[in-house]
Amino acid sequence: MEISVLQKERYAYKPKLPESLLHSVSEIAVELGQPTESVANQDELRKIFKHSYGKPIAAFVKGKNEAASRELKVGVILSGGQAPGGHNVIAGLFDGLKKGNANSQLYGLKGGPKGLIENDTIPLKDAIIDEYRNTGGFDIIGSGRDKIETDEQFAASLETAKKLGLNAVVVIGGDDSNTNAALLAEYFLDKGSDIQVIGCPKTIDGDLKNEYIETSFGFDTACKTYSELIGNLCRDTNSAKKYWHFVKLMGRSASHIALECALQTQPNICFVSEEVEAKHLSVEQIVGQICDSVVKRAERGHDFGVVLIPEGLVEFIPEMKKLISELNDAIAANEAQFAAISGFADQLAWLKSHIDAASYNILQSLPAEIAQQFLMDRDPHGNVQVSRIDTEKLLEGMVAKKLAELKKKNAYKGKYSSLTHFFGYEGRCAFPTNFDSDYCYSLGFGAFALISLGLTGYLSSVRNLSEPANKWKAGGVPLTMMMNIEHRHGKEKPVIRKALVDIEGKPFKAFAAAREKWAVETCFLYPGAIQYFGPPSVCDDTTKTLKLEQGK
């Protein structure tokens, strides 16, 4: 296999572990706390998770684990979108298993949860694991977005696990995948099986987070990759002095990525969807905020800047949410009729009498090519495909229009030229930072320890992450503790609650305190490329979000 020089050097990296996992595996014991409750809907969840609700928090401590040398068979799943460090979770799990008993076996369940449903596996041996240590991607066994949902799928999963003789299944995934892990753990218990299920908190979006899960893995690497690029754009525009860059960043539900990138690069403008929703901001206000900055900077002779936009922004603007919902309803109720209308102008005319006047006015105020995106490309349920809406182009177009109006009124005298970007896929498979390499390896090793100690329905947890790795605290958090009931696809479902950006939290407040200055002055920071070697100040730095949250 031909590999890059960096990949070769990264193989030599030895991930750091928390002290509690550095002991011989027979000396890793567990300390259990009090029974826990879910974050909400305790009664309903107690009923759904009859066998697994309310387990105690688990912390690894030095002690005796008589079962540590048991021969184990474990299956591992990579679920959902890629996040840097997934391979190290598997490597940590593998190394733990082999330290316990050289005959223990790890199976990769291929292509996501469907590998378990369909019994599509690959035995993971030393040679394979070594090829993937400290690398990005999920290519070792592939990933997938399937869920184990139907009775048949749950039964098939149990059957595969039994056929393989598995003692445990480890699910590496985000909130949805770990909700699935919780249901699987409960199902196995309900069927009288002792096959354990352990989750690991993955997602570049950073929205699987709570008191015990300080960050999901991949967030660190992805944000640093995006910040490298944003910083480069900042420097470019500060050199050429003639472009406003509109940068959309991955993150449909939460704006953690946009916020972290803003803290790392100090752009002129950054929107945080959670604030937009909380303050009921309108499109006009958002456009106005950008124009304000453009005008003020132009007065200083600075006809350039950078704007960060979270991918999911439109869904958090109340009037846009309303527009989307009305479009969905109107078109669904008149499907054939709407389909027969050809041409955007006629569609618009038809909609005038089928949606609310306010919504119609907004639709009409959008740049034509963007408004068309609301009407074309509907998903199989007939709904607007929000992920296809080029929010960065929407704002770019509306800002240009507004500036032209201001120019006519002599309220703006600058030169305006703009460019758009979308950074997402570029960051999901970068080589994990030293932080993510260490964190993931610890999560995987911790997952082994949880299995070895007989626990099920837990998420592997490593805390105290803004300290050096040896001071990290490892253990497990019961999955049900993070759950509540939410309305999804027309049904009440138990799900892990997403952690949105807390606009009362320290990272947002740090941003809010600085942004007025950034909007007018040029305060850009240039973080540069992720460094894996060299000064600890550069290589071992964590995200600003984590540091601020932990009072650093």
Residues 357-376 as x/- pattern, contact with its own copies by CB under 8 A: ------------x-------
Identify which of residues 39 and 523 has a Cβ nearer to its own copies in the complex: 523
Name the residue type at position 255: S
Would you say 402 and 412 are in contact if contact means Cβ atoms under 8 Å apart? no
From the candidates 205, 207, 303, 438, give the one annotated as an active-site residue.
205
Is residue 240 involved in binding its own copies (CB under 8 A)?
Answer: yes
CB-CB contact of 73 with 107 (8 Å): yes
Which listed residue (95, 175, 207, 228) binds its own copies by CB under 8 A?
228
Structure tokens, 316:
């958090």
Identify the residue among 41, 278, 523, 547 touching its own copies (CB under 8 A): 523
CB atoms within 10 A of CB 43: 8
User: Rounded to an integer, what distance in angstroms lies between the CA atom of residue 87 and that of residue 94?
Assistant: 10
* Sequence-ordered alpha helix ranges (H) in 266-390: 273-278, 283-299, 313-316, 318-333, 335-339, 344-352, 357-365, 368-375
Among 50, 241, 413, 509, binds its own copies (CB under 8 A): 241
In whole angstroms, how far apart are CA 333 and each of 300, 338, 342, 381? 53, 9, 18, 12
43 interacts with its own copies by CB under 8 A: no
Q: Which stretch binds its own copies (CB under 8 A): 100-108, 175-183, 236-244, 279-287?
A: 236-244
Least distance (Å) from its own copies to the CB of residue 452? 29
Q: How far, in Å, CA of 370 to CA of 104, rounded?
A: 55
Residue 428 near its own copies by CB under 8 A: yes
| DSSP codes, 106-151 | EEEETTTTHHHHTT-EEEE-HHHHHHHTT--SSTTT--B-----SH
Does the footprint of its own copies cover residue 325 (CB under 8 A)?
no
Of 3-11, 25-33, 317-325, 385-393, the window that binds its own copies (rule: CB under 8 A) is 3-11
Of the candidates 288, 293, 363, the residue with the CA atom closest to the CA atom of residue 324: 363
* Cα separations in angstroms, 213 against 93, 210, 476: 18, 5, 9
Distance of closest approach, residue 246 Cβ to its own copies, in angstroms: 12
CB of 236 to its own copies, least distance (A): 4
Hunting for tokens 């640093």 — which residue is that?
224
**Judged by CB under 8 A, does residue 236 bind its own copies?**
yes
- Minimum separation from the CB atom of position 538 to its own copies (A): 5
User: 350 or 526, CB closer to its own copies?
Assistant: 526
In order, the DSSP letters of 203-238 are: -TT--S--SS----BTHHHHHHHHHHHHHHHHHHHH
Residue nearer to its own copies on the CB measure, 110 or 402? 110
Q: How far is the CB of 12 from its own copies (least distance, A)?
A: 9
User: 413 or 517: whose CB is closer to its own copies?
Assistant: 517
Stretch that binds its own copies, among 123-131, 190-198, 230-238, 493-501 (CB under 8 A): 230-238
Does 5 interact with its own copies (rule: CB under 8 A)? Answer: yes
**Does 244 participate in binding its own copies (rule CB under 8 A)?**
no
What number of CA atoms fall less than 13 Å from residue 333's CA on the CB side? 9
Tally of residues, the chain: 552
- Cβ neighbours for 121, distance < 8 A, ≥ 6 positions apart: 75, 107, 108, 109, 110, 115, 160, 164
CB of 476 to its own copies, least distance (A): 27
Residue 391 touches its own copies, criterion: CB under 8 A:
no
For its own copies, the closer CB: 318 or 424: 424
Rg (CA), the chain: 25
Cβ-based nearer residue to its own copies, 369 or 502: 369
82 touches its own copies by CB under 8 A: yes
* Cα angle, residue 389 at apex, residues 386 and 392 outer, rounded to 5°: 130
Task: Determine if 301 is a binding residue for its own copies (CB under 8 A).
Answer: no
* 89 closest CA partner among 459, 496, 497: 459
Ranges within 488-517 binding its own copies (CB under 8 A): none
Which one of the spans 288-296, 373-381, 452-460, 521-529 is the region binding its own copies (CB under 8 A)? 521-529
The CA angle 105-145-189, to the nearest 5 degrees, is 55
* Nearer Cβ to its own copies (7/289): 7
CA 369 to chain centre: 29
Does residue 205 have an active-site annotation? yes
Applying CB under 8 A, does 542 fall inside the site for its own copies? Answer: no
The residues that touch its own copies, with contacts defined as CB under 8 A, are: 2-10, 78, 81-82, 111, 135-139, 142-143, 225, 228-229, 231-233, 235-236, 238-241, 243, 245, 264, 266, 369, 419, 421, 425-431, 523, 525-535, 537-538, 541
Q: Which residues are catalytically annotated?
A: 205
